[in-house]
């Protein structure tokens, strides 16, 4: 059943990022969670709000998410949500972690040039090379996302989501962004629209499957149904709906 939401002409929520691909993914997940179309202009990015990109100098996902959310809220007075996320590889003691977006010495912003350089220098060039000799059973990894929602000067909510899987030995797929072309989630058929029905019980079992799909092989709505960002947003759904219901 679709919930009733008023048509909002001014922004009610800022997603504190300059990455437009992340903003599109955030809005799609929000629409799915709240079972409604998001009115145009309801959610805008920090870039759309005319804000400068803030320096993420925290040492945890939570700190960086807070920095972004508070920066956007303090500049606009509009409820703002910041997220920080990354890929954590078990054999690398959780790296790239908070450095996922700049692991190869550059910052991934979601622009066309950034996407091209990121593909050349990070997922296919650096991380896969670093794991080249690592056996399948030791390639376990997870995506983690922490979201910090600043609602007012003295109220905020923080939630974290994760998706577990493994790092493939080669890239695959044309969808998604960032590390999606090298990450295989354990849940291979989240919406029951794939012919894949095998339930994998280990990293080696997952990566040994000749039909294994990587996040970049998933349709966007499949990824959105299980991603780390979805899991964090699911825990904030009540707050998001409260914002949408306000005059």
Q: Which residues are catalytic?
A: 84
Q: Which of 46, 44, 48, 43 is nearest to 56 (CA)?
A: 46
- For the record, the structure tokens of 83 come out as 């997220």
Q: Collapse the DSSP code of 126 into the 3-class scheme (helix H, G, I; strand E, B; otherwise coil) and give the result.
A: helix
**What is the spatial distance between Cα 70 and Cα 181, in angstroms, rounded to a whole number?**
32
Place of tokens 């920066």: 71
- For the record, the structure tokens of 217 come out as 């092989």
CA angle 51, 81, 42 (to 5 degrees): 75
What is the 3 state secondary structure string of 52-90?
Answer: CCCCCCCCCHHHHHHHHHHHHHHHHCCCEEEEEEEEEEH
What number of other Cβ atoms are within 10 A of residue 215's Cβ? 26
**What is the spatial distance between Cα 65 and Cα 69, in angstroms, rounded to a whole number?**
6
Q: Collapse the DSSP code of 201 into the 3-class scheme (helix H, G, I; strand E, B; otherwise coil) and give the result.
A: coil
**What is the spatial distance between Cα 180 and Cα 175, in angstroms, rounded to a whole number?**
8
């Amino acid at each position: 059943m679709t919930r009733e939401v008023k048509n909002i002409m001014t922004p009610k929520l800022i997603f504190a990022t300059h990455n437009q691909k992340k903003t599109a993914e955030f809005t799609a997940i929000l629409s799915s969670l709240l079972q409604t179309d998001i009115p145009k202009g309801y959610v805008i990015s920090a870039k759309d709000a005319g804000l400068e990109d803030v320096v993420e100098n925290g040492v945890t996902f939570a700190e960086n998410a807070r920095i972004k959310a508070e920066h956007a809220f303090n500049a606009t007075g509009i409820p703002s949500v910041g997220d920080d996320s990354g890929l954590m590889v078990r054999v690398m003691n959780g790296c790239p972690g908070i450095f996922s977006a700049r692991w190869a010495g550059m910052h991934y912003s979601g622009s066309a040039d950034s996407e091209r350089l990121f593909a050349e220098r990070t997922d296919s060039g650096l991380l896969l090379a670093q794991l080249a000799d690592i056996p399948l059973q030791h390639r376990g990894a997870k995506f983690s996302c922490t979201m910090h929602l600043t609602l007012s000067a003295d109220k905020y909510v923080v939630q974290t989501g994760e998706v577990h899987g493994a790092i493939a030995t080669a890239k695959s797929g044309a969808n998604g962004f960032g590390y999606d072309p090298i990450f295989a989630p354990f849940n291979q058929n989240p919406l029951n629209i794939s012919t894949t029905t095998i339930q994998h019980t280990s990293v080696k079992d997952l990566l040994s499957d000749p039909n294994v799909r990587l996040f970049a092989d998933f349709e966007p709505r499949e990824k959105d149904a299980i991603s780390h960002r979805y899991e964090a947003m699911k825990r904030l759904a009540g707050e998001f709906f409260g914002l949408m219901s306000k005059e």
